[in-house]
Structure 1
Amino acid sequence: MSFDVAAIREQFPILKREIDGNPLVYLDNAATTQKPQCVIDALVDYYTTCNSNVHRGAHRLADEATRRFEAARDIVKDFIHAPKREEVIWTTGTTEGINIIANGLSQLLSTGDEVIATGMEHHANLVTWQQACKASGATLKTVPVTDDGELDQTAYEALLNERTKFVAFPHVSNALGTVNPVKAMTAKAKEFGAWVLIDGAQGAAHCKVDVQDIGCDFYVFSGHKIYAPMGIGVLWGQASLLENWPVWRTGGEMIATVTLQNATWNVLPYRFEAGTPNVGDAIALGEAIRWFSALDHHAVVAHEKALLDYATELAENFDGLTIIGNAKHKIGVLSFVMDQGHPADIGFLLDRQGIAIRTGDHCAQPLMTRFGVPGTARASFSLYNTLEEVDILFAALKKVRSMLA
């Protein structure tokens, strides 16, 4: 199986940049991915040829914009294997999608009900449920994380009971790279009739997403982590639930009728898309998914696995470096601490050598507390990264170690 990473890299103009005279080595893909030229072109083309509001105009530009906008929704539907296009809701990103569901959940739960999240959540998939439980009187419970950085499945099953109404967990941990058994976890929750939401922010660009096969009720992800612009994302939900789920924002587009004293809501997907939508970025997300889906998925997975395996081997043989998160099933995330230096110092010194990583708690403070660290340095890989860049990273870490010793 071959994967032409050089040809892929040629499609990403930003990868030609230099930082302080060094070639850019971009290893912060779990925070956001870079954009191929075709995605940039799709965004520019919308604004230069058919910039207009959608669904409302009676002119050519509005018609063209609407067709492109809705075509992108169809692309997303096929990408996640959703049963109906109407179940694909445009959002600003994963966080907004989760908040839409959490707002409704706070109105549907009551005292005595239970919600389950996990100890590896991004704050967006934890604080939201905290607030929903506080508003409704429900109880929030969390699945513990093992020493290897996996969800404790025995503990998870013990938490499930007839009071469990809602379960949320990440497809992939943003901080550790752990890939969770989402299909099996969903099936367990369904034995008790609970609704299931999966945070797919890190999963969509690395794992095959089939919401029907998984069996979940809601799946959310952000465009900017799958080669699309920031400010656009997707909430997918079962139509039978979304049709009756409490609306979050009100305004134009999401209404059916309005009087001076009352209003009724529009059909899906528009009941959750109040106001002027982010048309250009939705079109660009459609192009990003079209581009990504045309690649050999198995070759991409194999390439990213080779990057992680090589980086892990080097890390395990690097004096003074400890990997945080050693799950059996991971995507390309290497989260680590070093005996010498705070993660912020490591990130600063790597940046001076042209290497971009993420440092800090990764919006996962409870998970950092679980491992007894204030934060980690995180190198996260994408399909355009190379084995040579892994070598550059560890050569730079040797310099960091000597500077901080």
Structure 2
Amino acid sequence: MSENLNIQQIRADFPILNEVINGKPLVYFDNAATTQKPRQVLDALLGYYEHSNANIHRGIHHLAEKATSEFEATRRRIQEFLNARLSEEIIFTYGTTDSINLVAQTYGRAFLKAGDEVIISTMEHHSNIVPWQMVCEETGAVLRVIPINDEGELLMDEYENMLSERTKFVSVVHVSNALGTINPVAEIIQKAHAVGAKVLIDGAQATAHIDLDVQALDCDFYTFSLHKLYGPTGMGTLYGKKELLDAMPPYRGGGEMIKEVTFEKTTYNELPYKFEAGTPNIADVVAAKAAFDYVDTLGKPHIAAYEHELLTYATDALQDIDGLRIVGQAKQKVSVVSFVMEGIHHQDIGVLLDQQGIAVRTGHHCTQPLMQRFGIAGTTRASFAVYNTTEEIDRLVQGLHKVKKMLG
């Protein structure tokens, strides 16, 4: 609950919240796209470049060893954050999209064949649609899609009916970026495993809001991006069960992912380095540890409870605006509200709110099939983080009344 958090003190940790946009104090409601970064993360990033900058793993001098130690400390921190069994089950990538492509292009190409079935859902981000389409086209596998109801919830009976011995892989989003829906991933995983299928969970929108335990979930793969968890951009994580990662061929070739190279033959490195070719995004990986520490200091349950207060407040306030309709009203949601306004294009809403210093996201949110399911071109999306306030939501409501008066 909010009494467990000092919101004004938290806001003071985020320098960008002092920005003035079009003469108005910034209201930042685009957290589902990327969260802002606290001073602790910014200091860690600068501190790496000032005191530790060197390439990792291959050097024996002091800075190389220091940078390597800090880099690997983040891997162990993520292992703890996810409750993974082994640190080598944590693969550094450049983001969720990169992670999904890694699995699709390695596990998918190696183990899928003609007639096999891959299941995704209607609410997937394009990054969890297109890679599977590509692999299915190459292998002859069939892509199947779990439908949703009008509230934006998966039809689990339909999902269960889709499962068969032909189902080899299920890849679904933990939390919808466009709707905020929390999917019943534990049930999805259990039912998929019952027919022998492997499961990837896209956790891009979940990690900032939901406590995670990959061993309890028993997922085969889990992926997320740090920039949605108050961390740097360009840095993501793929968790995979060791026996699956061991069986998968490398994704990229180059330095670090090898043990020995001759012109006749190359032998590959052990996990996790087999999938980490080339010089990685060292600085952002090092700084990411500060983001996990920051979230843990606040307490994930306290963050989730406060964000739920914001979601409830915003949902009630927005529904009082004539002609506004919230798209996606699942019983289980994170702090995302997507909406349409009768007779007003979502892009015009975004432009007019920006003139008032309010940052929201407009469009199809990289979920065009989901928008087609609802018969709309796109929505306006307000997404909340721990540093947002009810006073800012009041400004959003006032801003929308101005939009309605101008364009409605």
The verdict on a shared fold, with TM-score over 0.5 as the criterion, is: yes
Q: 1:318 aligns with which of 302, 316, 321?
A: 321
Write the mapping of 1:270-309 to structure 2, written as runs, cut at 5 A.
270-309=273-312
1:336 paired residue number:
339
> Are 1:113 and 2:121 matched, yes or no?
no
1:4-41 superposed Cα distances (whole Å, 9 cap, x missing partner): 11111010000011101100000000000000000000
Aligned partners of 2:74, 2:236: CA distance in 1, in Å? 12
Contact 2:110/2:248 (<8 A) preserved: no
Write the mapping of 1:353-368 to structure 2, written as runs, cut at 5 A.
353-368=356-371
1:316-373 superposed Cα distances (whole Å, 9 cap, x missing partner): 2110100000000000000000013110000000000000000000000000000000
1:256 paired residue number:
259
> Are 1:352 and 2:355 matched, yes or no?
yes
- Report how far residue 238 of structure 1 moved: 0.2
1:44 paired residue number:
46
Aligned partners of 2:183, 2:387: CA distance in 1, in Å? 24
> Are 1:162 and 2:165 matched, yes or no?
yes
Contact 1:29/1:380 (<8 A) preserved: yes
- Report how far residue 107 of structure 1 moved: 2.7
1:53 paired residue number:
55
Give TM-score scaled by structure 2 length: 0.98
1:196 paired residue number:
199
Q: Which amino acid aligns with 1:67?
A: S
Q: Which amino acid aligns with 2:40?
A: C
Contact 1:107/1:136 (<8 A) preserved: no
1:142-177 superposed Cα distances (whole Å, 9 cap, x missing partner): 000110000110100010001100001001000000
- Report how far residue 300 of structure 1 moved: 1.1
Give TM-score scaled by structure 1 length: 0.99
Contact 1:79/1:293 (<8 A) preserved: no
SS of aligned partner of 1:205: coil
Write the mapping of 1:72-221 to structure 2, written as runs, cut at 5 A.
72-104=74-106, 105-221=108-224
Q: Which amino acid aligns with 1:19?
A: I
1:193-218 superposed Cα distances (whole Å, 9 cap, x missing partner): 10000000000101111101111000
- Report how far residue 133 of structure 1 moved: 0.6
Contact 2:118/2:170 (<8 A) preserved: yes
Query: Which stretches in structure 1 are left out of the alignment for 5+ residues?
Result: none
SS of aligned partner of 1:331: coil
Percent identity between the two aligned chains:
53
Aligned partners of 1:83, 1:253: CA distance in 2, in Å? 23
Q: RMSD of the alignment, in Å?
A: 0.7
SS of aligned partner of 1:401: helix
Q: Which amino acid aligns with 1:356?
A: A
> Are 1:381 and 2:384 matched, yes or no?
yes
SS of aligned partner of 1:294: helix
1:248-295 superposed Cα distances (whole Å, 9 cap, x missing partner): 101000011111121111000000000001110001111101111121
Aligned partners of 2:103, 2:299: CA distance in 1, in Å? 34
1:5 paired residue number:
7
Query: Which stretches in structure 2 are left out of the alignment for 5+ residues?
Result: none
Q: Which amino acid aligns with 1:96?
A: D
Write the mapping of 1:20-39 to structure 2, written as runs, cut at 5 A.
20-39=22-41
Aligned partners of 1:294, 1:170: CA distance in 2, in Å? 27
> Are 1:67 and 2:69 matched, yes or no?
yes
Structure 1 runs (4+) greater than 4 angstroms displaced: none
- Report how far residue 106 of structure 1 moved: 2.1
1:285-315 superposed Cα distances (whole Å, 9 cap, x missing partner): 1110111112122221111001000110012
SS of aligned partner of 2:234: coil
Aligned partners of 2:305, 2:15: CA distance in 1, in Å? 24
1:72-106 superposed Cα distances (whole Å, 9 cap, x missing partner): 10110000110000010000000000000000112
